[in-house]
Chains A and B, each alone.
Chain A
Amino acid sequence: MVWLAGGMLALCSVMIIALILLVVVRGMATFWPGAIASYHTVDGQIVTGEVTRSSTYEPRPELIDTLPPEAQERARQLLAANDGLAERVLVRTGNYELDNSHFAWVSNYTIERMEKPEWFVVMERLTWGRFYGVPTAFYVDGELVADTPADVWREFERHHGDIRKRWQQRRTLESKAIGRINHQQESARLELRGAEIAAQQARLNHGVRSEQYLQAQAVFERQQQRFNQVEAEFERRYADIREEIVALNQENERYQIRLMTVNGQEKSMGMAEVVRAYPANQLSLLGRIGVYLDRWQEFLLDDPREANSEGGVFPAIFGTVVMTLIMVVFVVPFGVLAALYLREYAKAGPLVSVIRIAVNNLAGVPSIVYGVFGLGFFCYLVGGSIDQLFFSEKLPNPTFGTGGILWASLTLALLTLPVVIVATEEALAAVPGSMREGSYASGASKWQTIQRIVLPRAMPGIMTGMILAMARGAGEVAPLMLVGAVKLAPELPIDSIAPFVHLERSFMHLGFHIYDLGFQSQNSEAAIPMVFTTTLLLILIITLLNVGAIWLRNRLRRKFVVSAV
């Protein structure tokens, strides 16, 4: 029996450790810049790019027949020596706009020779994915400035930083400045619409000739005038900003770089397009570490691009953390109070037992059911009513009447409520009766006893419930798809535009991001490593949140450490 039990535990541990190791190893490896290899195959093709993985397979004999005759013999020998199995490598070739694929398989029996070209540069671009090529020319204002790879590369490094800075500046203008104008314009429009609705209401309720209607109409007309003024002002500011952007773009367009692919095709591109570039086979170890860290930084701090398969996941990190914290804010007081009533106030009886069983059963309801409930109840019913009452000028566009971070948090709070209630009840039950009696004997009322003795003493247990709830909530994805998590959220739920916290906004979530990357991505080969990295990040964030809560709990527990009597 001991062996069986121990064996099961060992099996569990091995599975968990293997899973975590897989995630860590593959997640960490994603951003490492590999070398560029050029495979010259027997049929005269050259495949150049980064080797991403390799596999063993059994090629069909017909495949060998397609090879040039002189290579067939060698290939057959090679296969015979390996029991008919062949090795193949997956090469990330990039250059999607030129040859319509990101990756190519190369089998070992077709390789004539392999070399590592000195001057191949990896370019990560805003669109079309990576480009692999040899820099051949650099133009400033249409004039050739450099034409050997080393010179072109020097020119590129000299100008790239400034160009990216201008590009960043442009993006800030587009998102922040124009965003703010749009926002002000929207609120002015809403104000006008509100006045219009008020006027309509007055006409419906009091008639066209009524005092109220005339007043409301006058207000509306004043609003209309003010709106037109404001609108003109906005147009002016908007034009200013556009001008600035155009200037920045023109400055950036002065620089062009030209690269040649392995097949001799040439391609020029604007420098602002290039996010990051490095001559892969010339990098020292330090240089590689630099690229690696730079990619991590982009991943952690930047917005996603290329349908989420490139760039960063900052909005998703932010959304996950904010949603989890809001969930905790809702679920802990709610669950603790419910447990307090169940354990301290309710008289034990069949009703309490039924409620307790019901609470425990809630924990077994599939999470998607919570999602459906959240969508129906929170989004449509509660959110719809809020929209009717407070945001009627925006209708038919929903404000709260659709998925948003508040509804997602509430749905998850409901989902994790049983965890908190059960843990709190256990913690309350574990408070020794002698302590309560001591408090009562000192003349404390029931609430004073609960507040001063029972709750502080039960706090570590309550925190344990909170930790479990957080771990459960932060990793949940299915219900979120219904109540507010989206593939790409244009704005964060907390930003610098008043009122700063926008609970109605939809948000990005790491768990949903993983699903999206893994199953909805166009370029799935490139997305797979990102799935591992994002998973690693999600695990790390949940661990961090938990470590924070555990640290808090231990601090509390140290206060209540019970000495041996």
Chain B
Amino acid sequence: MVTTDTTRVTNGSNGTAADPGYAERKNRGRLQEIAAGKWFPPVVDHQLEREEPVLTVKNFCLWYGKAQALFDVSMKVPKSKVTALIGPSGCGKSTLLRSVNRLNDLVDSVRISGEMNLYEDSIYAKGVDVIELRKRMGMVAQKPNPFPMSIYENVIYPLRIDGVRDRRILDEVCETSLRGAALWDEAKDRLHQSALGLSGGQQQRLCVARAIASEPEMLLMDEPCSALDPIATGKIEDLIDQLRGEYTILIVTHNMQQAARVSDYTAFMYLGQLVEYGATASLFKKPQLKETEDYISGRFG
């Protein structure tokens, strides 16, 4: 069931006759307007309001030095669902994802405004323990980034830094995580060999295993398949499918087919603004904005 938030749509593109530049703007279309620096409220599917949000983003803006990368982004990421962020390169989807676990803190020049909440807990409030916060989320990076240690040590890394010493717990977590990441059968005989000897696809699944080892409330995936071949990509997609329902997943992807295949909800971003956000099935079949349709059908971007 898809209902449309008509008021918002009209709000964004029609304007009033009294607006002097109205006719000209209508001709240029929404994307040109965004490029010219105008802000539009996103078109959001009603269905999302029925979901319980894990992550709530409110009026989030981000600057790299003087350049603004995110403009007033507001969205809710639903629990136990896979949410995909799509959009052309440089639209800020990765930046948004990295803002969730505050990895952007590592870049000196970053400033932000607005809010983000993980459940009820503010992410950007003063005095937040960033380390504790990051422990509640797992992250899979664009390129596989296994650590220079054994497979076993890689998986239990989050527990190691928490000071867990109990061999039984560690062994158990290692096995369940590797099984969870569909890597157990391939890796169980070489747990104590270097993780760097695994293939790229295996390394990426290892990173997934590491990300789920501490049972996070949310999984962040930043284009997890962009460095992988089609077969490895297929395996990761299958894995995401298995994790659905158990974990809340926010995934950034370049690949529209992938978003259509794996996600429940999709958010389309453009030049730092959230443009349209809705259930994947309807967004891909019948997007409410012509611009979204143009993008997913490959007419630009």
Question: Interface of A with B (CB < 8 Å)?
Answer: 347-348, 432, 434-445, 448, 452-453, 456-457, 559-563, 565
Contacts and interface: CB of A to CB of B under 8 A. Distances in A.
B148 A457 contact: yes
B12 interface: no
B196 A562 contact: yes
B141 A438 contact: yes
Contacts of A448: 161
B103 to A, nearest CB: 6
Contacts of B78: none
10 contacts: A434-B143, A441-B103, A441-B134, A442-B157, A442-B158, A442-B210, A443-B158, A456-B149, A560-B194, A560-B196
B86 interface: no
A561 B194 contact: yes
B147 A443 contact: no
Nearest to A434: B145
B114 interface: no
Contacts of A442: 134-135, 138-139, 157-158, 161, 210-211, 214
**3 A-B pairs closest in CB distance:** A443-B135, A441-B139, A434-B145
A563 B196 contact: yes
Nearest to B134: A443
A212 B283 CA distance: 97
A560 B148 CA distance: 5
Interface stretch (B119-127, B173-181, B197-205): B197-205
B23 interface: no
A439 to B, nearest CB: 7
B84 interface: no
Contact of B157 (A436, A439, A565): A439
B214 A443 contact: yes
B17 interface: no
B131 A445 contact: yes
Nearest to B142: A434
Given A347-B108, A438-B147, A439-B147, A563 B158 contact: no
A440 B203 CA distance: 18
Given A444-B131, A565-B203, A438 B145 contact: yes
Contacts of B149: 456
Nearest to B194: A559
A562 B196 CA distance: 6
Contact of A438 (B137, B199, B207, B227): B207
B224 interface: no
Nearest to A433: B106
Given A441-B138, A453-B148, 17 more contacts: A432-B145, A438-B145, A438-B146, A438-B210, A439-B147, A440-B103, A441-B137, A441-B211, A442-B134, A442-B157, A452-B147, A453-B147, A457-B148, A560-B194, A562-B196, A563-B197, A563-B198
B80 interface: no
Contact of B131 (A438, A443, A560, A563): A443
B144 interface: yes
B19 interface: no
A543 to B, nearest CB: 29
B101 interface: yes
B132 interface: yes
Which among A443, A452, A453 has the greatest number of chain B C-beta atoms within 10 A?
A443
A563 B139 CA distance: 22
Interface in B198-257: 198-200, 203, 207, 210-211, 214, 220, 227
